[in-house]
Homo-oligomer: A and B are copies of this chain.
């Protein structure tokens, strides 16, 4: 199975598993609007590859391996969504694009994104130029950066080398 397929399904099983013991083919099928028969096949393969414990007619639960993948994928998803939101992407689009990005970005890129989000979130304020970016994205108008601010940044940029 493709990485994307494994991660997508395992993540969904993880979400649907909350509040119930086992996830049934129908749960996945209706969530994804695909045929239950297709989910049966997927479950069989996920079972073979050790991501779920699946038994005929009684649904599936995640194995430790599956849980690990699900949590990692979900974490990437959440961080990427937050990242896109910070940049000014609207919520729906951020969710959707994060859903694709979570499968393709390499670890070192994810690490960079994580640190980006971390820095911005731990700032006492939203960085000025991020606000500028959001305004630009929303209105299409780009304001000029105040010279005093450039100077202030410049001072720190050079002193830190």
Query: What is A's interface to B at a CB cutoff of 8 Å?
Result: 84, 87-90, 93-94, 96-97, 100-101, 104-106, 108-109, 111-113, 115-116, 118-120, 123-129, 131-133, 136-137, 142-143, 145-146, 148-150, 152-154, 156-157, 160
Contact = CB atoms under 8 A, between A and B. Distances in A.
A90 B124 CA distance: 29
B87 A116 contact: yes
Of A118, A128, A149, chain B has the most CB atoms within 10 Å of the CB of A128
Nearest to A134: B112
Nearest to A132: B119
Contacts of A124: 145, 150, 154
A153 B153 CA distance: 9
A65 B108 CA distance: 36
A149 B153 contact: yes
A104 B109 contact: no
A127 B128 CA distance: 10
B109 A93 contact: yes
B128 A109 contact: no
11 contacts: A87-B113, A88-B112, A89-B112, A93-B106, A97-B105, A97-B109, A101-B104, A101-B105, A115-B137, A119-B133, A125-B154
A145 B123 contact: yes
A160 to B, nearest CB: 7
A25 B32 CA distance: 38
Nearest to A146: B156
